Chain A
């Protein structure tokens, strides 16, 4: 087996991997390698040809491929190595990465540090259960997006979409533009889970109905999908008898969520958060394994690529500090807890003795939509460190905030984050 040595290996060449590599380079890492299993860099952005990317990071509205190309061009002008069509098979605990590609077969790469940037995959029908037959014509919205935008063929003539996630909404518009009859989007929750701007510009613009509190209760068709039966659901999400309706369609797109791609991390022994389904990390995006970092959708599902880039820069800088022995030798762990209105918070813990950055960046998701709330951060002495007003919070929109490092001292043992209705003093 062929062997090579690098300072830093990055798995995944999507926006997370690209930004992490460039940031590590800027911070003085000499030998960097990105392994990407696809034939091109850019990750999921290549199929996201719609605009809406980069408003925060570049202060202009770009399409997915344009956003990716800015990083790819910078990378091509650097001495960062890239292996395309290269699938990482295993990460060994002796800091060896096993990968495979057509030209070299199976090979081994030794490294000082590793960044996980494998992104996520879509939930499939098996992950949610729809009764009925298993005809063809049922696929995830992302698969349909790749067919239409990269390969140039349409998945069907009459389409129904299950789930109001952004990919489903984007595909409703995309297919309508290509002349496909999009019958509607069915969402089991009483609210849309995608961004409101996507409901406006992808559904309302074309008069595509969004059926909230509705479920697909049966799938019809033998070889090919012929239609679905939908019904209204009650508060417990149970179908209400007598509200059934038949919708004819030859294609059903599933837009029911994404799951971080963590088989490699799992096998290596990374601790995985049950809610995010990604590794547990501290504010430097270090996993429980000191030489392994994580960023982007492999860590938790982001709705905005701008946040992915920022997080990847944190991981890239931290990996560089680790490689260059700039990291503090001793650590003091501060646990981050949250109340029941919050689904998850990343990072899950912070190091009180890390003095590299002035601020700590947090990402969180709420469990239920709410209005006029306050986001309050307290420490173990019950001292309020931060009290922010939030006009609207929704599960589909990630909440981000910065906490000044000065609030975390050597006496801090935990930090609690809550979202409450009450006015705080």
Chain B
């Protein structure tokens, strides 16, 4: 049996998580303080995921850029592929928190959404 350790990024506490496994089979997960940590340990072991936050160019808005995020964490290996799609985007204002900019971005199954309300300038 092997042991793998992760630091949970679920909250500022940063618990150190322990996974006992044989190759790809998990036997036991320990040292987490809450269910977010338990879930994190599982996905971090099988398919690490991260939420991406960045900005998108905005046309005729009160501000030149709007902040966006992936609504759910996406596969870590897809991060730069997602960034490439985002850097080519330019969207119309006005825009509100939660508006979908791109659905299923780069085939991740996850939507890219806005995180700030920005008005249009006339």
A140 CA to B25 CA, complexed, in Å: 46
Q: A63-B67, A65-B67, A69-B116 are in contact. Are A177 and B14 (CB under 8 A)?
A: no
Q: Decide: B64 and A50 in contact? CB cutoff 8 A.
A: no
| B-contact 0/1 string along A121-165, CB 8 Å cutoff | 000000000000000000000000000111110000000000000
Shortest Cβ distance from B68 into chain A, in angstroms?
8
CA distance A55 to B117 in the complex (A): 21
Q: A149-B65, A150-B65, A205-B76 are in contact. Are A69 and B54 (CB under 8 A)?
A: no
Question: In the complex the two chains form, is A51's CB within 8 Å of B51's CB?
Answer: yes
Q: Once bound together, how far apart are the Cα atoms of A47 and B39, in whole Å?
A: 30
Query: Do A63 and B11 touch (CB < 8 A)?
Result: no
Contacts of A72 in B (CB 8 A): 117
Contact B12 A303 (CB under 8 A): yes
Q: How far is the CA of A419 from the CA of B37 in the complex (A)?
A: 28
Q: Which stretch (A183-191, A193-201, A284-292, A337-345) binds chain B?
A: A193-201
| Chain B residues within 8 Å of A303, by CB | 12
B18 at the A/B interface (Cβ < 8 Å)?
Answer: no
CB nearest neighbor in A for B96: A69
Contact of B7 among A152, A174, A197 (CB under 8 A): A197
Are the CB atoms of B57 and A149 closer together than 8 Å? no
Q: How far is the CA of A423 from the CA of B107 in the complex (A)?
A: 55
Name the residue on A nearest B82 (C-beta).
A177
Residues of A within 8 A of B110 (CB): none
Residue of B whose beta carbon sits closest to that of A304: B12
Known A69-B116, A197-B12, A397-B12; contact A150-B63, beta-carbon cutoff 8 A: yes
Question: Is A197 in contact with B9, judged by CB distance below 8 angstroms?
Answer: yes
Most interface-central of A51, A148, A304 (chain B CB within 10 A) = A51
Contact residues on A (Cβ < 8 Å of other chain), bracket: 20 to 34
Instruction: Please state if B9 and A200 are interface contacts (CB–CB under 8 Å).
Output: yes
Q: In the complex, which of the residues A46, A50, A55, A63 contacts B12, with contact meaning CB atoms closer than 8 Å?
A: A55
Interface 1/0s, chain B 1-31, versus A by CB < 8 A?
0000001111110100000000000000000
Question: CA of A269 to CA of B1 in the docked complex: distance in angstroms?
Answer: 65
Contacts of B12 in A (CB 8 A): 52, 55, 195, 197, 303-304, 397
Q: Mark B34-75, 1 if CB is under 8 A from A, else 0.
A: 000000000000000011111101000001110101000000
Residue among A65, A148, A151, A174 making CB contact with B64, cutoff 8 Å: A151
Contact of B55 among A73, A149, A205, A397 (CB under 8 A): A149
Interface size class of chain B, counting residues whose CB lies under 8 Å from the partner chain: 20 to 34
- The verdict on A63 contacting B9 (CB below 8 Å), with A51-B51, A69-B116 known, is no
Contact pick for B65, options A69, A152, A397, CB 8 Å: A152
- Is the C-beta of B115 less than 8 angstroms from some C-beta in chain A? yes
Is B64 within 8 A of A66, CB to CB? no
Residue in chain B with minimal CB distance to A68: B116
Q: Which residues of B contact A69 (CB under 8 A)?
A: 97, 115-117
Determine the distance from Cα of A61 to Cα of B69 in the docked complex, in whole angstroms: 12
Check B102 for interface membership: any CB of A closer than 8 A. no
Does A49 sit within 8 A of B, measured CB to CB? Answer: yes
Cα distance A50–B67 in the bound complex, in angstroms? 9
Contact string against A for B residues 106-119, beta-carbon threshold 8 Å, 1 for contact and 0 otherwise: 00000000011100
B97 touches A51 (CB 8 A): no
A150 vs B65: C-alpha distance in the bound complex, in angstroms?
Answer: 6
Q: Which of chain B's residues have a CB closer than 8 A to the CB of A65?
A: 67, 97, 115-116
Contacts of B83 in A (CB 8 A): 177-178
Interchain CB contact under 8 A, B69 and A63: yes
User: Among A66, A150, A397, which residue has the most Cβ atoms of chain B within 10 A?
Assistant: A66
Chain A, 45-62, contact with B by CB distance < 8 Å: what is the 0/1 string? 010011110010000011
State A131–B84 Cα separation when bound (angstroms): 39
Contact A63 B63, beta carbon cutoff 8 Å:
no
Bound complex: CA A72 to CA B14 (Å): 30
Q: Which residues of A lie under 8 Å from residue B55 when comparing CB positions?
A: 49, 148-149, 152
Contacts of A148 in B (CB 8 A): 55
Q: Which residues of A contact B (CB under 8 A)?
A: 46, 49-52, 55, 61-63, 65-66, 69, 72-73, 148-152, 174, 177-178, 195-197, 200-201, 205, 303-304, 397
Q: Which 8 A-B pairs have the closest CB atoms?
A: A196-B14, A65-B116, A49-B67, A197-B9, A63-B115, A66-B115, A152-B65, A65-B115
Q: Which residues of B contact A (CB under 8 A)?
A: 7-12, 14, 50-55, 57, 63-65, 67, 69, 76, 79-80, 83, 97, 115-117
Residue pairs across A and B with Cβ atoms less than 8 A apart, 28 shown, are A46-B116, A50-B53, A51-B53, A52-B12, A55-B11, A65-B116, A66-B97, A69-B115, A72-B117, A73-B117, A148-B55, A149-B55, A149-B65, A151-B64, A151-B65, A152-B65, A177-B52, A177-B54, A177-B80, A197-B7, A197-B9, A197-B10, A197-B11, A197-B12, A197-B14, A200-B7, A303-B12, A397-B12
